[in-house]
Chain A
């Protein structure tokens, strides 16, 4: 276990290193951001020089790299190219807004996906199974932006039940969460179904039946814990999907979180914000994947008990 944890942690650190270095390199090889922001011909040279100093562009490359790392550790990621505000501040005030959306979505997608997947596996071939599988395939092919617009049309335009976009009240939360949770809930159902079916086919379930255990005990003791292991490993994957999905959903529903910030920053080429957001998303994913690995090792006695 210690060895496993050590290796995984080293891997995570290496991944983080690669990501940070890549963003730094990419940021510098795209050319002088000042030139892409300010009309070079008409801007006085003093102003350009000022901007350069502001973003440390006047220093040698290695110093910029060191400074980049220092910035990450000190939580100073520079200033917005567009309005000059502190990047960390801009992002920090939007994080809780996005977390609110993602937290509810996570709960909702598990609440939809897990029971549906288990029910489908236990009633293999029945109408429940076929419905869940059809929903899973459809959910995979129905992108958030189509689903979101469909919801707006149905709930906001036709039925006038919910506000079409914005942020603030619980009513505002319903459509974005439903948009994300139905799509990913369907995929979770599909994974759950596969994991449960896999375990149901294992000899130890047959053995437990031969030993006279009632079906419910077999479910609780043999099937669920063993099926949970592969499911835990794909939660990291879902978090990634969720981050991507929330960008789209925040855009559609004018949800003022970091996803929407990312889109507007990309459109406005505010590279300071973009790179900070990419680092934030990467860090989240790396930590999530590391935690998933550790959870996997902990759930699995053959890894947990090894040196």
Chain B
């Protein structure tokens, strides 16, 4: 239902954009010549979906905040006008905010008042924008929650934000945005803080709401996949300027501006790994001292339990068996809380398993501080997600690498080896004398990798090594990892939440869900013919940077579960589209089929034996 306020009743003249930004510039109050947003002009056609895409610091969020006149206090709009249906908007946006234009933000948990229950939050907005009070407002709150497909809407009214998951909180924020029945919804990175399967749910919801209500959408994101999925007109921003804008299909198929083209080219492709295959024939680098150095690593019945706050026990890792062959790169993929990082830390001995064994090259891995642990560091290394916190801020990059070389007496000439290592990760000699904060994100991660390589390790765990980096840098670092892996003959474990990235560098992929491996097999097989319903959903949630390939996706129900409340039977069954009675009773074992794929799923087992799952269930 729409209620028409007097101002929105006037129909827009044909061809007038619903929202237009003309020549917008934003500056810092104290340095008015430094333009953070520079002469940006954008139009949102009535009922359209405008995507603004760019890397961090491109000014996309400031543009979005300017529409609502919500710039941070230190900034101000120095030029430009913002019009709605041709009429300029007054400063302060009285009568606009929440009523004609609503907004949702990146971190849904933090955008909600932690002291306020969902019910008063929504009915308050209903009262503010529609004048309904009491029971009528509460009934409307329930309808809003229904409108955003919130399960058990009425019970949610008494919940606090901290009791809901990120995806649920974002639904509540959207419900709040709908309270004023706005004509336009601004969404600033609405899915960035969410897991991929939840992201797919939210994007679907936004698309449905647009269709139902004829609402205009301005979507800001750093992720081309998200933009391609939800926008029909796209503007690319870089350093405060719009470098290119075009209809979505044209922009993605034939980008005109070199910046757009280079960004699109850095997205891991969905077909093949040509660049790495090409390099296989390259002459070996002179760095590694031995000929074949790779050793395998094996996890046997590995479990790790944590004591959570409030005394609950969390099974981060549950009876995992896995063997990585010498020289192999194994990808581990899963959503947050699936235990993949715990698994990585355990493999290199930085954490102690609650039960089970880890054997590297047949020997148990030391976890206790001591001589054995320090010696084991020469074989096992780890590369973390956030290179800035991992590098010592007060020591130069060169010192930190040489320190490692000298501690382990790797070579007599530590300095020249340090420079060789820097070269191996495509850093220059001058970077040796720099401090971490003087390097870019990509350079820092290269330095971390160079330091890890200094001990000439045999096994390296890469834990989300590119997640903190901008897209264009991600691709370079991934390439570099693939490269050094070949040159140094490493056995590697590559952990990421992004299955495209994992597939790009890995020989095999293990998919994890709630502390278990649910499927493992050759990377291409997993990617093209996933068997486990969760793997299928994960792949289906991957957003292609090509609007023509918007798929009919298999969207998972519900939210990623809390490892403190493990479901019975198969941990995936509450969200599984194929779940049957058996799945809630009996956890499936990881069974290996003839083609070398292992899957932990009753349905797959039944179908492998030639029966139809629907009948067997």
In the complex, are there CB atoms of A and B closer than 8 Å? Answer: yes
Inter-chain contacts of B70 with A (CB < 8 A): 206, 209-210
Q: A211-B97, A211-B102, A211-B125 are in contact. Are A204 and B112 (CB under 8 A)?
A: yes
Contact with B along A286-307 (1 / 0, CB 8 A): 0000000000000111100111
Contact A301 B115 (CB under 8 A): yes
Contact B310 A306 (CB under 8 A): yes
Inter-chain contacts of B128 with A (CB < 8 A): 211-213
Q: A210-B103, A212-B98, A307-B310 are in contact. Are A226 and B114 (CB under 8 A)?
A: yes
Contact B112 A212 (CB under 8 A): no
Inter-chain contacts of A206 with B (CB < 8 A): 70, 105, 111
Contact B115 A203 (CB under 8 A): no
Inter-chain contacts of B373 with A (CB < 8 A): none
The count of chain B contact residues (Cβ–Cβ below 8 Å) is 33
Q: Kindly state whether residue B163 has any CB partner on chain A within 8 Å.
A: yes
A226 to B115: give the CA distance in the assembly, Å.
Answer: 7
Inter-chain contacts of B103 with A (CB < 8 A): 207, 210-211
- The listed residue (B99, B111, B310) touching A207 by CB distance below 8 A is B111
**B168 shortest CB reach to chain A, Å:** 15
Quick one: which of B143-193 are within 8 Å of A by CB?
160, 162-163, 173, 176-177, 179-180
Q: A204-B111, A212-B180 are in contact. Are A302 and B97 (CB under 8 A)?
A: no
Contact A222 B113 (CB under 8 A): yes
Inter-chain contacts of A211 with B (CB < 8 A): 97-98, 102-103, 125, 128, 176-177, 179-180
A210 to B69: give the CA distance in the assembly, Å.
Answer: 9
Inter-chain contacts of B97 with A (CB < 8 A): 209-212
Q: Kindly state whether residue B612 has any CB partner on chain A within 8 Å.
A: no
Quick one: which of A1-45 are within 8 Å of B by CB?
3
Inter-chain contacts of A208 with B (CB < 8 A): 113
Contact A203 B105 (CB under 8 A): yes
Inter-chain contacts of B179 with A (CB < 8 A): 211
A208 to B173: give the CA distance in the assembly, Å.
Answer: 11
Q: Kindly state whether residue B129 has any CB partner on chain A within 8 Å.
A: yes
**A174 shortest CB reach to chain B, Å:** 39
Inter-chain contacts of A301 with B (CB < 8 A): 114-115, 160, 162
Contact B107 A203 (CB under 8 A): yes
- The listed residue (B113, B125, B160) touching A226 by CB distance below 8 A is B113
Quick one: which of A269-300 are within 8 Å of B by CB?
299-300
Inter-chain contacts of A3 with B (CB < 8 A): 310-311
- The listed residue (B129, B160, B173) touching A302 by CB distance below 8 A is B160
Inter-chain contacts of A306 with B (CB < 8 A): 310
A198 to B95: give the CA distance in the assembly, Å.
Answer: 28
A-B contact pairs, 29 of them (CB 8 A): A3-B310, A3-B311, A124-B73, A202-B110, A203-B106, A203-B110, A203-B111, A204-B110, A204-B112, A204-B113, A204-B114, A206-B70, A206-B105, A209-B68, A210-B68, A210-B70, A211-B103, A211-B128, A212-B95, A212-B97, A212-B99, A212-B180, A221-B116, A300-B114, A301-B162, A302-B160, A302-B162, A305-B163, A307-B310
User: Besides A208-B113, A211-B125, A302-B162, 6 other CB < 8 A contacts?
Assistant: A203-B110, A203-B111, A211-B97, A299-B115, A301-B162, A306-B310
